[in-house]
Amino acid sequence: MGNRAFANVLPAVHRSSKRNQVIKEVILAAPDIDAKVFRKDIAPRLINGGSDTTIYSSSRDKALWASWLLHGFAPRAGQRVSGLQGLESIDAGTIDTRTLGLGHSYYAK
C-alpha cells in the first residue's frame, strides 16, 4: 500500500531536492494500485520523475487477487503491468513462494 503514496509524492521530492540528493532508483514491489490508474496517472509521473523504476509483479500473488476481488475485479498493477516505455517490469510469477503462504513475498527471493 505504500507504493501508492510514494508514487504520488516522488515528483515533488525530485523538484525540491538538490541535484546530488535525487532518488536514483525506485522499486515497486507488488503494488496494490488499480492498473488503469497506474498506467494513466502514476506511471507518467514515475517515468518523468527522474528515477529508474522497476515493478515486481506476479499473477500468482494471492494478496493481490484478494484485492482484485475486493475492488470489483479491477486489475492491480502488481498482478501484471508491462509494456510501459521507461519502466522496467519483472514478472516474478514463476518464483516458487509456496513456503511463504500468500505468494506475496516474491520480490524478496
The residue ranking higher by pLDDT, 105 or 45, is 45
* Residue 80 contacts residue 57 (beta carbons within 8 Å): yes
Closest-CA residue to 57 (of 85, 88, 73, 79): 79
Q: Which ranges of the chain does DSSP label H, i.e. alpha helix?
A: 2-16, 35-37, 43-47, 62-70
pLDDT at 105: 55
- pLDDT, one tens digit per residue, over 9-22 is 776 776 776 666 67
- pLDDT, one tens digit per residue, over 21-67 is 677 888 888 899 999 988 888 888 888 777 888 998 888 888 899 99
Q: Confidence class of residue 83 from pLDDT cuts 50, 70 and 90? A: confident
pLDDT at 96: 67
What does the alpha-carbon distance between residue 11 and residue 9 come to, in Å, rounded to a whole number?
6
Kindly state the helix (H) or strand (E) to which residue 38 belongs, with its residue range.
none
The residue ranking higher by pLDDT, 108 or 22, is 22
pLDDT at 21: 61
